[in-house]
Structure 1
Amino acid sequence: MGAYGGFGYGVINEEGRLILEFAIAHDLVVANSFFKKKNTQLATYHSGGYSTKIDFFLLRKGDLRTCKDCKVLPTLTCSSQHRILVTNLGTQGRVQTKVALKQARFRELTSFRGCTLADKNSIEKSYKEAKRAAKIAVTRAKDKVYGDLYKRLDSKKGANNIYRRAKARDRRRRDLDNIKYIKDEISQSIVKEDKIRK
């Protein structure tokens, strides 16, 4: 299917299936299923002797090549039951390069000490130029991504994916899926769904 790399943890449940449907509908991949890891580096939640994978990194398919690694840090926890999930993204591409340059210029700007006024002005100027270039690159990248998204949504396949997702969300919100019957105020059994709703 292209969204799942095959290196998951445990079995795919209903929520996992919905995540895969969402990823397919939006041309995303589940990054932490593309790397073969030990079980201790896959399970993100531990409780009562059970372990599950409940946290995911979703990336655009085109950005998967920038993902160098994705794993759970078994020794670091954000609560007693949750393990931290991290991904290592490479700095490929013009946008990442421009943003990295802006960040480097900002570090220079905030760490200048004992330099002359001319040096300070030079550093500020280079930071502003890097910031402007990064902003333009990010805006262009966003425009391209949203343009691609809108093209997909305008297609018949995109419309079907939205409709399918809306139906699935509506089914999940219903709490009556497992109810076979219910009793009314005079203890008579009601089995028709519209009367159960009332």
Structure 2
Amino acid sequence: VGCELEEKERFWSELDEVMESIPTGERVVIGADFNGHVGEGNTGDEEVMGKFGVKERNLEGQMVVDFAKRMDMAVFNTYFQKREEHRVTYKSGGRRTQKKRSEITKWWKLKKEEWCEEFRQKLRQALGGQVVLPDDWETTAEVIRETGRKVLGVSSGRRKEDKETWWWNEEVQDSIQRKRLAKKKWDMDRTEENRQEYKELQSRVKREVSKAKQKAYDELYTRLDTREGEKDLYRLARQRDRDGKDVQQVRLIKNRDGRVLTSEESVQRRWKEYFEELMNEENEREKRVEGVNSVEQKVDKIRKDEVRKALKRMKSGKAVGPDDILVEVWKCLGESAVEFLTSLFNRVLESERMPEEWRRSVLVPIFKNEGDVQSCSNYRGIKLMSHTMKLWERVVEARLRKVVEICEQQYGFMPRKSTTDAIFALRILMEKYRDGQRELHRV
């Protein structure tokens, strides 16, 4: 797991040599976890596997199938249909979980220049030493994703629960690290000695956590009269408020009739039904303004300086879309990214077609912090879209703002303006007219 492709290929080559050294006629059984998913179905591979693999085939799974074909072997556990929970071999945190998860590339490492430089070098190697990125989106995106996974690694994709960790210190971290190592040692070799060592470290961690919390609370109580102490107190209060509302991971949602849905499938159907109604509700369109002629004229090609300026305006640290390519990637690649994006955006402009990946998004419900946490109407849907598409929109938006006149009273979606300012000004105006007992007419 986490090895370079070259190292994996060397492993399979050495395993081939071991297999070839075994005398003909010997029966060979390999019992190991190759971290591979051979996939469901066996079309084209009937001679080496059954139809009951796990989900989609990954690179390691393909290597397992290829090895089985070379050595005239079979992936034995794919011939028997089993329940879903019995098809997984990885044990994590006391629960059996599938290793196939929505893995997220650790793009945040690009904040450090050393990681950024290594990513650029590996990407250049993947492109055969070329500095210029491939001319089409699909090839470039796949090479970037693959290089990012190899260089930066991937996370499990699980959401980490927010905890009161302001009391955390290095002693607690060291104790927890030793406990984790002891747990791995016990999982590999279930001896009484290893079990006893793990239990002792487990108790020690509890004591260290208790001491750290007590020390942190004592310091907090002595600092309550300071500004820093107020910040800690408010942070703790906000966390307690979130815990009380149980909105960290809401798994139960009510249907139209107010009945609580418990199964994952029914909850997903309810979310789909709710957002489809919310976003696709048919409203009568306003009539177009009569007597206005459309103007058609030649559109200039997008220039590098436009892309460079838009890229600089893009904020870092935002959630990634389904294509798993953050804007930080383009910032890291510098001028080569500007050249590629300029060429890509001009092709989109000329063909009037954008990459299919840009059309996909992930809809995330965010609780509004008011009302019933199990009611869909109390959630705001946030769409996570491709950062590259957002960059394209920035370029187009900058051009539109140069030719479209917007009145000064427009506050929404305007730079250096906010609807909050307009609401505040209106409230002040209403109060002044009310104090003067005068009528206020609003249009």
The TM-score normalised by the length of structure 1 is 0.35
Q: Which is greater in Rg?
A: 2
The TM-score normalised by the length of structure 2 is 0.17
Kindly indicate whether structure 1 or structure 2 has the higher relative contact order, using CA contacts under 8 Å at least 6 residues apart: 1
